[in-house]
Amino acid sequence: MPLLVDGMNVIGSRPDGWWKDRHAAMVRLVDMLERWATDRGELVAVVFERPPSPPIASTVIDVASAPRPHRDSADDEIVRRVSADPQPDKIRVVTSDQGLAERVRAIGAAVEPANAFRRLLETGIDPAMSDRRFRSATGNDLAAADDVSIRRLDPADVELVEPLWGALREHHASVSPHLGAPRAREDSWSRRRAQYERWLSEPDAFLLIAELGDTPVGYAMVHLRAGSPTWPSSERAGEVETLSVHPDKRGRGIGTMLLHAVESELAGLGVDELSLHVVSTNHQAMAFYERHGLRPFAQWLSVAGIRRRQDHR
C-alpha cells in the first residue's frame, strides 16, 4: 500500500531539537524512510513544504515538495497526490495534522498518526504494543541518534571496531553476490586491521567511533591524501576508507552524525575535500552519500585472474 508522509509533521512530532538543524532532521527522516521502504517493499513518498536545500536525493523513495511554498503547501500537495491516484483508498497518509487528516479521509485515504509512525519507524515495533511489552522487547535499543556520542578512537583500541567491520563485510557480500564468497571473517579483519594501523600512523589520520552508552554502534576511518594533480579542487583531501553502522542501528541518523563529524574534523585540519569509494552494487549507500552532497567523480575498475588471462594469450 503506498505511503505518503507529511515530512515536517513527522519531524515535529518530537521536541528533540530538530529546529536547530532543519536540513539534518530532513535527511535523517529520509534515511529512516529508505530503510522502511527497503525492508517492507513499500512505495513511499515524503512531502516537504519547500525543496530541501541542499537537495536530498534518493533512489529508494520519492522526496517531494510543494510547487510553491506557502502556508499548508505540503498539505495541499499531499491532497493533490491522493486525489490524482486512481485508488485513493489504497493510500496511507502519515500525519497528525487534523485538517489534513480530514481532507484525505474525505477522498478515501487512511491516516496514521505521525508520532506513532515515527516510533514504529525508529524501532520496527508496532505502537499498538503495550508500554510494558514495548520496553521488554527493546530494552535500551530505543535510543535514537540523540543518545549517541562520537569520539576519536585511540589507535591502540582499534580492535573495538572488529564487529562493525564484520557486519560491513557481510553487507558487502550480500549486495555483491556476483563477486563470490568473501574472505573468512578472521582473515578479512586481520587484513583490514593492518590497513587501519598503517593509515593511523600517518599524520592527521583519525578513526571516529559512535557509541550508544559503552557499546560501539558505528565508526569512520579517515586519512589524508594529496589533492588531484589534474583538477585544482584542493591541496589535501580526506579519504573515508570505512563508514559502518551496526545493522540494528541503521536508519537512526548515526551514519549522518558520523559523516558530519568527519567533515568537522577535516575542516579543523584545513581540509576542504572529502572522497570515498562505494561498492558499485551498494545502491543504498550511494543514495545516502548523494543525499549528503557527494557526487560520482571517477570509476574504479577491477579485474581478477590476470595470470590465467596471460596463460591463454
Q: Domain spans of the chain?
A: 3-138, 145-291
Instruction: Please check whether residue 76 is in contact with residue 56, taking contact to mean a CB–CB distance below 8 angstroms.
Output: no
Specify the pLDDT at position 144: 45
Mean pLDDT over residues 63-89, rounded? Answer: 91
- 3-class SS letters over 32-92: HHHHHHHHHCCCEEEEECCCCCCCCCCCCCEEEECCCCCCCHHHHHHHHHHHHCCCHHHCE
Query: Residue 148: helix, strand or coil by DSSP?
Result: strand
Mean pLDDT of the chain: 86
Specify the pLDDT at position 134: 27
Q: Which CATH number fits domain 145-291: 2.40.170.20, 3.40.50.300, 3.30.565.10, 3.40.630.30?
A: 3.40.630.30
Query: CA 309 to CA 260: how far, in whole Å?
Result: 44
Instruction: Please check whether residue 245 is in contact with residue 258, taking contact to mean a CB–CB distance below 8 angstroms.
Output: yes
Specify the pLDDT at position 1: 63
Specify the pLDDT at position 72: 84
Q: What is the pLDDT of residues 147-179, one digit of tens each?
A: 788 999 999 999 999 999 999 999 999 999 999
Instruction: Please check whether residue 56 is in contact with residue 45, taking contact to mean a CB–CB distance below 8 angstroms.
Output: no
Instruction: Please check whether residue 90 is in contact with residue 108, taking contact to mean a CB–CB distance below 8 angstroms.
Output: no
Instruction: Please check whether residue 240 is in contact with residue 276, taking contact to mean a CB–CB distance below 8 angstroms.
Output: yes
Mean pLDDT over residues 119-141, rounded? Answer: 44
Fill in the amino acid letter for 88: P
Statement: the pTM of the whole predicted model exceeds 0.75: no
Instruction: Please check whether residue 76 is in contact with residue 66, taking contact to mean a CB–CB distance below 8 angstroms.
Output: yes
> pLDDT-based confidence at 124, cuts 50/70/90?
low
Specify the pLDDT at position 141: 35
Mean pLDDT over residues 239-253, rounded? Answer: 91
Query: Residue 250: helix, strand or coil by DSSP?
Result: coil
> pLDDT-based confidence at 146, cuts 50/70/90?
low
